Amino acid sequence: MSQPSLADIVSHIHSLPAMPAVALELLQTLSGGDPDVDALASRIARDQAITARVLRVANSPFYGLQMRVGSIHDAIVVLGFSAVRSLVLTSAVVTTLPAGKCAGFSADRFWRHVLGTAVAAQALARPLRRKPESLFIAGLLHDIGRLVMLSANPEGFARVIQIAAERDCHLVDVETEIFGCDHTAVGAAIAQHWNFPADIVEALAFHHNPAQTAPGSLAAIIHYADGIAKALDLEGAENTQMARLQPAAIDALGLDWQTLTAVLAETHGRFEAHLPLLG
């Protein structure tokens, strides 16, 4: 049986449930322009499930607000449009894109890991003087290719998990053997399909190999955030493998130990605050 092509796998995205219209509209605003915040707030509020999750996070102790936020519009006023946009997109992605089912795969651990990577990337934004939202979204979506691979061929992905366990290696080491490509290629193709900004596409493509990108790239930051999430075991797995970090890519970020300690603490706090987004 021949391996599926990258195009075959990516084409399967059309059979997945459609993203909420407001989420797609929010994705389009990532490319710039001046969105109509009031109109977007009204459309977000129509989705009661997303609204409830976002407001639970907005009212968490992490944000330390002096008043309770009771609406999406109020959340935007208090937290800012960018922060609320990230929360809405997270809720939409988690509730819309099915993690699928196959032997050995835990949807709960998957979503906990990608959320952990997202908040770790966000925690890195301040010391790196980067905009936190693009880091958060790239972290949230960095493994999205796996969802499409699993949905397109659950038996094949179960085989990936089995072989990786037998060899005690990472899934990415086996994906190409079974699928003909790995989740980074699939994720980047999906990001292009959704017209994501170029740096997010690059981050999805090279977060396991940031040496292929410029020093300090978004891919390098997600590479490090992925390692932080695994080091903190935010997915809650019994046998989490440590990430294979590329020292040159990490060194180029120029973070000292004191800064990293603060990033680790902030990551843990953000993760606990954002857990309601997972349901």
Report whether pLDDT(1) > 60.
no
* Model pLDDT, residue 15: 60
Per-residue confidence (pLDDT) for residue 95, from 0 to 100: 80
* pLDDT for position 241: 72
User: How confident is the model over 242-249, as a mean pLDDT?
Assistant: 90
Per-residue pLDDT of 77-112, as tens digits, reads 888 888 898 999 898 888 877 666 788 999 999 999
Measured N-to-C along each axis, helices 198-206 and 132-141 cross at an angle, to the nearest 10 degrees, of: 40
Per-residue confidence (pLDDT) for residue 110, from 0 to 100: 93
What is the pLDDT, as a whole number, of residue 92?
86
Position with higher pLDDT, 197 vs 55: 55
pLDDT (average), residues 141-166: 92
pLDDT digits (tens, 9 = 90+) for 195-216: 788 999 999 999 999 999 999 9
Q: What is the pLDDT of residue 27?
A: 76
The pLDDT of residue 55 is: 93
Domains of the chain: which residue ranges?
A: 16-96, 99-279
Q: What is the pTM of this model?
A: 0.90
pLDDT at residue 98 in the model: 64
Q: Which residue has the higher pLDDT, 170 or 195?
A: 170
HEC string for the chain: CCCCCHHHHHHHHHHCCCCCHHHHHHHHHHHCCCCCHHHHHHHHHCCHHHHHHHHHHHCCCCCCCCCCCCCHHHHHHHHCHHHHHHHHHHHHHHHHCCCCCCCCCCHHHHHHHHHHHHHHHHHHHHHHCCCHHHHHHHHHHCCHHHHHHHHHCHHHHHHHHHHHHHHCCCCHHHHHHHHCCCHHHHHHHHHHHCCCCHHHHHHHHHCCCHHHCCCCCHHHHHHHHHHHHHHCCCCCCCCCCCCCCCHHHHHCCCCCHHHHHHHHHHHHHHHHHHHHHHC
Residue with tokens 């915040």: 37
Domain 99-279 belongs to what topology?
Answer: Hypothetical protein af1432 (1.10.3210)
pLDDT (0 to 100) of residue 67: 86
* Encoded tokens for 36: 């109509």
Q: What's the token pair of residue 259?
A: 């800064």
- Asked whether residue 232 carries a pLDDT value surpassing 60, the answer given is yes
Average pLDDT value over all residues in the chain? 88
Check residue 2 and give its pLDDT.
61
